[in-house]
Amino acid sequence: MSESAFAVLGLFDSADRLMKAIPAVRARGLGRLEAYTPYPIHGMDDALGLRRSPLGGMVLVMGILGALTALGFQYWISAIDYPIVTGGKPPGSWEAFVPIMFEVTVLFATFTAGLGMLLLLNRLPFFGHPVLSSKAIKEITRDRFALSVEADAGPLDATAAREALSAAGAAHIEVLPDVGPRPFLTSDYVLRTLGGIFAACVVSGLLMYGAVKLFPVLPPMVHMLDQPRLNPQKADSFFKDGHGMQMPVPGTVARGYLPLGVASQEEAASLVNPLPRTKDVFALGRESFRRRCVVCHGALANGVGSLTAAYGAKPANLQAKQFLDYPDGKIYWVIVMGKNAMPSHAADLSETQRWAVVHYVRALQRAQNAKDEDLKVEGQR
Amino acid sequence: MNATTRPTPILLWAALALGAAGVVGAYLGAGPERFWANWILWFIFLFTVGLGSLFIVALEHLINAKWSVPIRRIPERLATLLLPVIPIGLIALGALPVLYPGTRPEALQNPILAGKAFWLGLPFFSARAVVCFALCLLGLGVLVRGSMRQDSSKDPAFNVRARKFAPGWMFIFAAVITLVAFDWISGLTPEWYSDIFGIYLFAGSFLAGLGATSLAILHLKARSRLEGVQNDHLYNLGGFMFAFTVFWSYIGFAQYMLMWYANLPDEVLYYKVRLEGPWHLVTIALAFFHFVLPFFVLVTRDAKGDSGRLRKVAFLMLGAHLLDLYWLIFPALGATPYFGWPEVSFAMFFLSLGLLWVRGAMEKGEDMPVGDPFLQEGLEFRL
């Protein structure tokens, strides 16, 4: 026979005969040997000289990798990136990592075992194995034992294989023709696969739509949403006045917002700025001044702010002689109470911030009216 | 018996005598507390080896296993260790007033212990122990004696009887090992309790039984007995050992982690004691020798069927089980892990006692259950 063959199948009547034939055929070294039997036969792996499956090693490596991955992730999250003490345990408590390490180990190991077996060792996707189209397949799956000599690297010498098998006592011999390149990734196959995926998407989408329409939707995990609670800005029957939010008790004083103890601006002149003139206080004053005052009074407190041009307002020029002579307390009073068109800033600036602004205004005034001594002091430092 | 093995029993008898002297000396020299702690340790050790072996026998009947028929006689013989262990256990009742806080009169001052006074007290404790021992004898009588009788009678009715008895006996076994774990080990710290503790001791007990069985089989095979037992049979024992080291660690760690997380004072105290000072080292050693080392030795396919490596792991398993019991029992004596001449004497005495008993048992009757109709099928077992 000169035609190219995928394999030559020899059929044997019993497992014993098959096992006895294997060494004789194997000694001829014609090609890869494979046995097809109705049930597993002990010792077949050794007889065929199959090498030990590398799957165990792969699973071990991936399992260890899984454990280390889980350990690394959890340690990085809970001890390095965002260390938070939960349950009174120090960040990076290894005990808490173990269950997840265990699960990820199992996950990596089983996926490696399953996919490695199917894709790497069983050579999937492999459609239509030639033995499945052989005439002998019915008998192989029932009561016959087949030994096949298959083309290994080079072409198979079908005549020699036939001879070797019949010499080894095969009852029947069948030559399986070479099917050529495997029918994989043909346009027909690709189209059918894509069509199948598309059909599956359509069907599952329609099913989901129907299920959601026909059956009541069960919201998951609603316990937290359903608990009785007061919603801000919403009516609620819990309180008598029907409001979800309640006003503070009359006379409530917020921290840092002590009421002013004086009745008029004249009286306020006696107030003394309680803050020291430190860098931090000036920094706070500058920050607060820039946020609340600059738009009208201008960066130099000279009354030229950006709002002046836009609206024609006439804010006070704090560099004027009148304000240079103002005591601290009177400036403070204006911040709290407002003056003319200026509104009160009491709600926006805390007591500390207001006094810091007073200091800063004084600094701005001094800067615009600097004396020679100021330079000297600077020079000496 | 050939001439080369004859000195062994003499050595064993000598060790037994020397150990006995040391045991008596320990009571006088080291005090009753340390004496009884050692006594409990060795009582539980031999008991769990015997009961674990009986579990292997019962497991075969329960699941109708054929592969283990040729080796069944070995765990059956090891299970007879329960016979000398019962008097040892009855003597161990003497430890109750010394080591077990629940039986002391001052326990009535403690509201927790006072509520459990009847359960922890000497009369009911002893009654439970006696019932447990009686149930062990029941298992021995039906499974082991019946199997020995089948050697001559060749009556397959035994297989049917054992198969019917095994499921019921598994419940009895669970009750016995749970009671023994709760009473004798957990009872040392009666304010601490863990629901899973019985299963923890069961895992150790099964491993100890497997270790002893594997060692005995390898020992006999090296002397050309147990003809026909293949590496495939050993492989299954190795596989069991591998699986149950993981099981033991799973149970042990689950117990630890829940208590560590909850951090309740009465629960964590048990581990606090074992994680401080020298006991911390013992804890780490236990995790290493009972889990890490056997896991990585047994993880490959070759290791489970290889007699050389299996022998080492079986030794390791027995040693680790002993360390486990030491770790469970000895912290009751205080922050110092005692190890000195009293412990060595006890080891000599009880090891030689156990070995002499097992040696004697190994010489009695057939090495395989020759009357079992499934023997041939078991011998033909291949992986």
% of chain B beyond a pLDDT of 70: 98
Mind listing the pLDDT tens digit for each residue in B78-121?
999 999 999 999 999 999 988 988 888 888 888 888 888 888 88
Does A325 contact chain B (CB < 8 Å)?
no
Q: Identity (one letter) of the amino acid at B15?
A: A
Q: Give the angle B334-B340-B345 at the CA atoms, nearest 5°.
A: 115
The pTM (predicted TM-score) of the whole model is 0.71
Interchain CB distance below 8 Å, A87 and B261:
yes
CA distance B102 to B115: 10
Strands A145-150 and A5-12: antiparallel
A-chain CB neighbours of B258 within 8 Å are none
* CA dihedral sign, ordered B272, B275, B278, B279: positive
A1 and A141 share one domain:
yes
User: What's the token pair of residue A345?
Assistant: 């800033």
Mind listing the pLDDT tens digit for each residue in B180-223?
999 999 999 988 889 999 999 999 999 999 999 999 999 999 99
How is chain B split among helix, strand and coil, in percent rounded to 5? 80, 0, 20
A-chain CB neighbours of B260 within 8 Å are 95
Residue A166 makes CB contacts below 8 A (sequence gap 6+) with A10, A173
CA proximity to B61, closest of B140, B165, B174, B202: B165
Mind listing the pLDDT tens digit for each residue in B120-135?
888 999 999 999 999 9
In A, minimum Cα distance to B299 occurs at A60
pLDDT over 60 (residue A1): no
In B, minimum Cα distance to A94 occurs at B257
CA distance B307 to B226: 14
Q: Which residue has the higher pLDDT, B187 or A380?
A: B187
B-chain CB neighbours of A90 within 8 Å are none
A193 and A160 share one domain:
no
What Rg, from alpha-carbon coordinates, does chain B have? 21
% of chain A beyond a pLDDT of 90: 22
Q: Which domain holds residue A283?
A: 265-380
User: What's the token pair of residue A205?
Assistant: 């989408």
Give domain status of residue A254, yes or no. no
The residue-averaged pLDDT of B224-232 equals 88
A27 and A150 share one domain:
yes
Mind listing the pLDDT tens digit for each residue in A323-351?
888 888 889 999 988 888 888 888 888 88
Number of domains present in the structure of chain A: 3
A199 and A294 share one domain:
no
Asked whether the beta carbons of B101 and B114 are under 8 A apart, the reply is no
Q: Which residue has the tokens 């006996």?
A: B169
Asked whether the beta carbons of A7 and A150 are under 8 A apart, the reply is yes
Distance in Å, alpha carbon of B348 to nearest chain A alpha carbon: 38
A-chain CB neighbours of B257 within 8 Å are 95-96, 98-99
Which candidate from B260, B299, B382 shows the least CB-CB separation from A95?
Answer: B260
A2 and A119 share one domain:
yes
Interchain CB distance below 8 Å, A88 and B263:
yes
Distance in Å, alpha carbon of A53 to nearest chain B alpha carbon: 11
Distance in Å, alpha carbon of B337 to nearest chain A alpha carbon: 25
Return the residue in B257, B258, B268, B292 with the most chain A beta carbons within 10 A, the one to mutate for interface testing: B257
Does A261 contact chain B (CB < 8 Å)?
no
How far is residue B54 from each of residues A36, B80, B170, measured CA to CA in Å?
42, 8, 10
In B, minimum Cα distance to A95 occurs at B257
Asked whether the beta carbons of B371 and B151 are under 8 A apart, the reply is yes
A193 and A147 share one domain:
no
Interchain CB distance below 8 Å, B299 and A60:
yes
Q: What crossing angle do the helices spanning B82-92 and B122-139 adopt, rounded to 10°?
A: 180
Residues of chain A numbered 92-111 and touching chain B (CB < 8 Å)? 95-96, 98-99
A2 and A137 share one domain:
yes
Give domain status of residue A335, yes or no. yes
A-chain CB neighbours of B297 within 8 Å are none
B-chain CB neighbours of A95 within 8 Å are 256-257, 260-261
CA distance A296 to A292: 9
In B, minimum Cα distance to A90 occurs at B261
Give domain status of residue A357, yes or no. yes
Which candidate from A87, A88, A98 shows the least CB-CB separation from B257?
Answer: A98
A44 and A145 share one domain:
yes
A338 and A289 share one domain:
yes
Of A143, A162, A184, which residue is a domain's last? Answer: A184
A174 and A190 share one domain:
no
Return the residue in B67, B249, B253 with the most chain A beta carbons within 10 A, the one to mutate for interface testing: B253
Q: How far apart are the first and last CA of chain A?
A: 109
Q: Which residue has the tokens 């894709």?
A: A119
User: What's the token pair of residue A336?
Assistant: 């709290």
B-chain CB neighbours of A87 within 8 Å are 261, 263
Average pLDDT, chain A: 84
Give domain status of residue A240, yes or no. no
Give domain status of residue A116, yes or no. yes
CA proximity to B180, closest of B114, B258, B253, B128: B128
Which ipTM value was assigned to this complex?
0.81
Does A90 contact chain B (CB < 8 Å)?
no
Asked whether the beta carbons of A288 and A356 are under 8 A apart, the reply is yes
The DSSP bridge partners found for residue A147 are A10, A35
Give domain status of residue A340, yes or no. yes
The edge-to-edge listing of strands for the beta sheet with A172-177 is A32-36, A145-150, A5-12, A172-177
A82 and A205 share one domain:
no
Asked whether the beta carbons of B142 and B160 are under 8 A apart, the reply is no
Least confident of A7-11, A117-121, A186-190: A186-190
B-chain CB neighbours of A43 within 8 Å are 382
A202 and A157 share one domain:
no
Distance in Å, alpha carbon of A88 to nearest chain B alpha carbon: 9
Query: Could you please report the per-residue DSSP string of B261-278?
Result: HH--HHHHHHHHHHTSTH
Give domain status of residue A260, yes or no. no
Mind listing the pLDDT tens digit for each residue in A170-227?
888 888 887 665 555 667 778 888 999 999 999 999 999 888 888 776 666 777 777 8
Does A40 contact chain B (CB < 8 Å)?
no
Interchain CB distance below 8 Å, B261 and A96:
yes
CATH number, domain with residue A341: 1.10.760.10
Q: How far apart are the first and last CA of chain B?
A: 33
DSSP-based three-state secondary structure for B364? coil
Give domain status of residue A49, yes or no. yes
